[in-house]
Structure 1
Amino acid sequence: MKQHIYAYLMQKAQSMHSPIGSLLRRVAGIVESAKRRACYDMELNGEAWLIHQLAGLNIGCVFDVGAHDGAWTHLCKQTLPDASLFLFEPLPHLNAKLLARFGKEKKVHVSDFGLSDVGGIEQFFSVSERPTRSSLVRMNNQGDVDSMRVRFETGDEFCRNAHIERIDFLKIDTEGAENRVLAGFEQMLRAEKIHMIQFEYGQVNIETHFLLKDFYGMLVPLGFKIGKLEPNGVRFASYSYDQEDFLGPNYIAIHQSREDVARKVAAPSKYHRDYSQGNDAEFTS
């Protein structure tokens, strides 16, 4: 509906040679520009909203893969006080900050390595000016980049060693290595032991060649429904080519076993069939 209104206003703006028409064109330009900016502010892009929606929904185990400075974990700790939180951050200076911030918290566990599809030592690119952009993937526009060797484990290996039987919420913010992190959880995913996933999708996927279509292809056959996280909810939808806009920032995948979570976080008036109908359940957008 909003798209039809926007298109109508654009049409009118182009046909009106008057101050009103000029104003409409300026407004349309601002709207279009805003649509093409990915917002990474948790309070504005739906991330904080999502965490608050999970309160009271039996979220007992949360993974923060790419924990950075711990802001996301801090909000989870405040909102989901009964949850055990597992943080993964391979950059030494960021890991030190996490330990200083959460080291005395009994329910927060900080690991000084990353998660990937294989265990061992790998080359990691640290962006000094913007450490949150550090990644296994090197982008052409990252600026000054330091290369270092850091340790990784697979998610399956970590869960075996830590005796973790299920993950209620797996948040992945690894600047383009999200698909590799997911691949490292292959056994947990196939055993239906991961119930909810938040992953980033954006311009870095141009570099990795792992498209939104590939996330759908990986997760939907395993019983997940996927939607874009918006400020007021998750816009669940079947995959379509026009979603490949590389704008991001976050998508949510929820397993069919957690219908309670899906209903709670779905964007208004969009979730219209439940998971009891199987993988053919549709979502409108």
Structure 2
Amino acid sequence: MNPPQWFFKALRSIEKAAAYGQGKGYGSGTVRHEVALVATLLESAPRLAVDIGGHSGSYTRALKARFPDLEIHVFEPSSTNIARLRERHGNDTSVTINSSAVSDRTGEAVLFSDKPGSGLASLHCRKLDHYGMAFDVREKVPTIRFGDYWSGPLERRSIDILKMDIEGHELNALGAFDDALAATQVVQFEFGGTNIDSRTYFQDFYYLFTDAGFDLHRITPLGLERIDHYREADEFFFTINYLATNRRFAAGPHR
């Protein structure tokens, strides 16, 4: 005799609550908490930050609220969100707004979304039929290799904070960082359902960062959980934010 369906529903509720406590599915609408935890990992007051996937500027605003003198370079491809960013941060000379997507090559790509300015917009055409959502809005956008920007406008400077939220395209972008990753103190990146569409896994990020000399932490409601080793159970496709900290900076600033 099979158990009643409510029994499995109860188990799923317990599973969801346990996962949430570990930060799995916690990563939406938590910007202030994220920035506060980033601050605990910095060796000194930050000077330079990069916000890749700036959307309408919430993360940049939270950084400026905590670090008013911080120089920030923002990348956002959506024309709708560029207008929002310029309205919010356009008069701040310490914020540079770049209207392009960060990818593994310089050129052009199609930005797919469910609506103009969507927070789900991605360079990958997501299949969200199971949510009754059509990803049928398309916009041609410029793309840039971050390694080129770092060695050009940023003049190969050390980066204190680098945040990436580009809906499943993070691994592609990181593949074209060149030496910029080694010059970065703290990286925040998002992982979740969009990685199903881009066919990328937490395992990819774990080995990329640990091989590059970074320690990994998962943001949870209670603080940071150190990720000491890879587990297949970490392949959890609800929004999660991770922090990667560069061990090179622990001995002091590298300017």
Compute the TM-score of the two structures, normalised by the length of structure 1: 0.75
Alpha carbons of structure 1 residues 260 and 105: separation in structure 2 relative to 1, 3 Å = farther
Among 27, 34, 59, the alignment partner of 1:72 is 59
- The letter of the residue matching 1:63 is V
Aligned equivalents of 2:43, 2:92: Cα separation in 1: 21
1:42 match: 30
Verify: 1:87 aligned to 2:74, yes or no. Answer: yes
- The letter of the residue matching 1:42 is T
Maintained 8 Å contact 2:162/2:188: yes
Give the number of the structure whose alpha-carbon radius of gyration is greater: 1
Alpha carbons of structure 1 residues 26 and 246: separation in structure 2 relative to 1, 3 Å = closer
Aligned equivalents of 1:247, 1:82: Cα separation in 2: 34
Bigger helix share: 1
Give matches, 1:41-60, under 5 Å.
41-42=29-30, 46-51=33-38, 53=40, 57-60=44-47
2:215 match: 225
Verify: 1:211 aligned to 2:194, yes or no. Answer: no
Aligned equivalents of 1:252, 1:47: Cα separation in 2: 9
The two structures, once aligned, show a CA RMSD in angstroms of 2.7
5+ residue gaps, structure 2: none
Indicate the SS of the match to 1:133.
Answer: coil
Provide the identity percentage. 25
How far did residue 229 of structure 1 move?
1.1
How far did residue 74 of structure 1 move?
0.3
Bigger strand share: 2
Higher relative contact order (CA 8 A, sep 6+): 2
Among 218, 227, 246, the alignment partner of 2:237 is 246
2:15 match: 32
Maintained 8 Å contact 1:51/1:79: no
Give matches, 1:148-167, under 5 Å.
148-162=139-153, 163-167=155-159
2:118 match: 131
Maintained 8 Å contact 2:215/2:245: yes
Aligned equivalents of 1:220, 1:156: Cα separation in 2: 20
5+ residue gaps, structure 1: 1-13, 15-21, 262-285
Aligned equivalents of 1:127, 1:69: Cα separation in 2: 16
- The letter of the residue matching 1:72 is Y
Aligned equivalents of 2:62, 2:205: Cα separation in 1: 26
How far did residue 54 of structure 1 move?
5.9
1:187 match: 179
How far did residue 248 of structure 1 move?
3.5
Q: Which moved more, 1:223-232 or 1:125-134?
A: 125-134
Maintained 8 Å contact 2:42/2:185: no
